[in-house]
Amino acid sequence: MKNWYKVSKSNKNICGNCNGQFEGLQSLDHHSGICPECRIDCIWFSFKDDKTLQVIPEYAPKGFLIFIRWAQKELDELEFLELVVSFEEIANALK
């Protein structure tokens, strides 16, 4: 299975598909974007501590892809942010 996500630290974004590096793509927008290097469809999320998560839908597990598509369609930016914060809270509690 190819990498379906990539976490980058600091403000450099690294593409999980092509390993291209670039700056300034991350935002709280959960809608689809593309990698400027390899043009693959992906979604960029920025988190606290300057971490960036890139999700590559075409390589993602099917259930996760359905979930992402649902979130893109049904949730606005604020609702999506609340969802991410909720997941972070659960993830931290599980550590």
Which stretches of the chain bind Zn ion, using CB under 5 A?
Answer: 15, 17-18, 20, 35, 37-38
Residue pair 60/5 in contact by the 8 Å Cβ criterion: yes
Smaller CB distance to Zn ion: residue 33 or 68?
33
- Burial code (b: 16+ CB inside 10 Å, e: under 16) for 50-84 equals eebbbbbbebbeeeebeebeebeeeeeeeebeeeb
Smaller CB distance to Zn ion: residue 35 or 60?
35
Smaller CB distance to Zn ion: residue 52 or 80?
52
| Closest distance to Zn ion from the beta carbon of 10 (Å) | 18
| Closest distance to Zn ion from the beta carbon of 17 (Å) | 4
Residue pair 54/10 in contact by the 8 Å Cβ criterion: no
| Closest distance to Zn ion from the beta carbon of 15 (Å) | 3
